[in-house]
């Protein structure tokens, strides 16, 4: 285990949950019978933003739009690599209007934006990992979108099949601990049971030293985490995973976003990362 890991400053994009609610059910976590405490959600979200800033990260905010209750899940809006933005085309009709304000914000900030032709849900299913992009499919983002992403960025895309509906997005089953480079493959944490047998074998080959999570960790949204290379912003309920990360030299930073679990989201879902240059 390294004596110390060095954090890398990140630039994040978030959206205030002013209009957050569970108004429909498009994943197993969502039930319109479980009302959202909006005041609690706002407090939890603000605590996440404050925690990022306290650790030296930049946080930009996209204004929420009435009638778009899931817009808080900013990660689903796009994936950004080397300052180029690949936008979103949501699977659920209820969420498709979310792409408009996010793409407008990116354009205002001076980014080139590509609107996908195939269903693609941004960093929900796309995890840039330096030399390649890990890409989930099976429930939301399509394999055709994986090909489109590869053509747009010119970066190899590794397709991974998700098989458990509770882990309907890649970012509920896997997160990047350290983005790799040409000389270093980086590392990840993931829950093997969320993936098809062939995809598990791919992950074992690419990341033989990965941090393995249990189903209990994953169901606690422990894999819906954000790492800066040293600090891992993680759900406090994922204690087992936090312990394993600490033994590897990472510093877990618990942040409670439990109100967002009612909609199937957590820390990463609320966090879009802007990568100006490839790691």
- Which residues belong to the active site? 169, 269
Cα 257 to Cα 236: distance, rounded to the nearest angstrom: 9
- Asked whether the beta carbons of 120 and 71 are under 8 A apart, the reply is no
Handedness of CA 109, 148, 71, 130 (dihedral sign): negative
Q: Report in angstroms the alpha-carbon separations of 256 from 212, 220, 236, 247.
A: 22, 11, 6, 22
Question: How many Cβ atoms from other residues are within 10 Å of residue 153's Cβ?
Answer: 20
- Helix, strand, coil percent values for the chain (each to nearest 5): 30, 20, 45
């Amino acid at each position: 285990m390294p004596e110390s890991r060095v954090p890398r400053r990140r630039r994040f994009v978030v959206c205030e949950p002013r209009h957050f609610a569970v108004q429909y059910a498009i994943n197993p976590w969502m039930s319109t019978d479980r009302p959202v405490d909006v005041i609690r959600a706002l407090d939890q979200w603000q605590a996440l933003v404050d925690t990022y800033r306290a650790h030296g990260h930049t946080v930009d905010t996209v204004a929420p739009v009435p009638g778009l209750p899931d817009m808080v899940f900013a990660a689903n809006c796009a994936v950004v690599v080397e300052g180029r933005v690949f936008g979103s085309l949501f699977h659920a009709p209820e969420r498709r209007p979310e792409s408009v304000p996010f793409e407008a914000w990116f354009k205002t900030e001076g980014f080139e934006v590509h609107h996908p032709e195939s269903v693609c849900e941004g960093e929900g299913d796309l995890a840039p990992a330096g030399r390649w992009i890990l890409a989930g499919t099976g429930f939301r983002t399509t394999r055709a979108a994986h090909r489109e992403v590869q053509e747009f960025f010119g970066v190899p895309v590794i397709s991974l099949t998700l098989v458990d509906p509770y882990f309907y997005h890649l970012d509920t089953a896997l997160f990047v601990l350290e983005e790799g480079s040409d000389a270093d493959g980086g590392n990840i944490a993931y829950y093997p049971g969320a993936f098809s047998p062939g995809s598990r074998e791919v992950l074992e080959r690419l990341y033989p030293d990965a941090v393995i999570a249990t189903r209990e960790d994953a169901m606690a949204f422990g894999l819906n985490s954000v790492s800066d290379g040293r600090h891992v912003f993680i759900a406090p309920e994922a204690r087992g995973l936090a312990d394993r990360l600490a033994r590897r030299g990472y510093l877990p930073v618990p942040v409670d976003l439990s109100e967002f679990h009612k909609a199937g989201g957590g820390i990463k879902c609320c966090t879009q990362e802007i990568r100006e240059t490839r790691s």
